Amino acid sequence: MKFDLVIFDLDGVLVDSTVAITNTFNQVLKKAGVSANNDRIAEMIGMPLDMMFERYLPGKGEDCSRMYREIYGMVCVEGSKLYNGVVETLEYLKSPVLAVATTKYSKEAEILLKGMAIRKYFKFVLGADDVQKPKPNPEVINKMLELTGSSRNKTSFVGDTTYDILAGKAAGITTIAVTYGFQSKDVLAAAKPDFLIDSLPE
């Protein structure tokens, strides 16, 4: 199977940003007098940020997200690392167009990709601020298809959450779920991705 376009989610697929995200999230919660277990926060990664905060501070998701972004941009590189095999895989995939579609804002994604020294591999990067409806809505994938001119049957999406898989399925493209990210293999399998892999080189 050959693809003209391979779209990657960012957190949980290319970059392990658990420390940066959970620490920043808790910093914001503590300012409101609330705290959360880091494991519980990690389980939500991949959801829209506003939605994550609404679970702890109803009605304050937007304000908390704004505060989060002010902090996160300064610490995201220091608190993140590439997963094993990422650079090797990106080097191998030189013929198709590579892109990133994330629930991060595009500015944050750009900072992280450049900090991890992998921005050069991607032609396009789209974030939550580039669309009206975030994943699992397929809008970000449809927009990527418009930008690249790729056909749906020649496009794949690599993600680590059911939000990614559902978005890919709704867009009518091939879905690939990685099991080393933020959701368990059983949860991902239930979403019925086309492929389930345990490492990016696989």
Q: Please indicate whether residue 9 is annotated as part of the active site.
A: yes
* Helix, strand counts (H, E) of the chain: 9, 8
Which runs of E-coded beta strand occur in 9-116?
Answer: 15-16, 81-82, 97-101
Residue of 4, 11, 129, 194 with catalytic role: 11
Q: What is the DSSP letter of 173?
A: -
Residue of 9, 16, 160, 164 with catalytic role: 9
* Six-digit token string for 192: 């019925």
Q: Please indicate whether residue 16 is annotated as part of the active site.
A: no
* Chain-centroid distance, C-alpha 156: 15
90-119: string of b/e by CB count within 10 Å (b at 16+)? beeeeebbbbbbbbbbbebbbbbbeebebe
Q: State the catalytic residues.
A: 9, 11
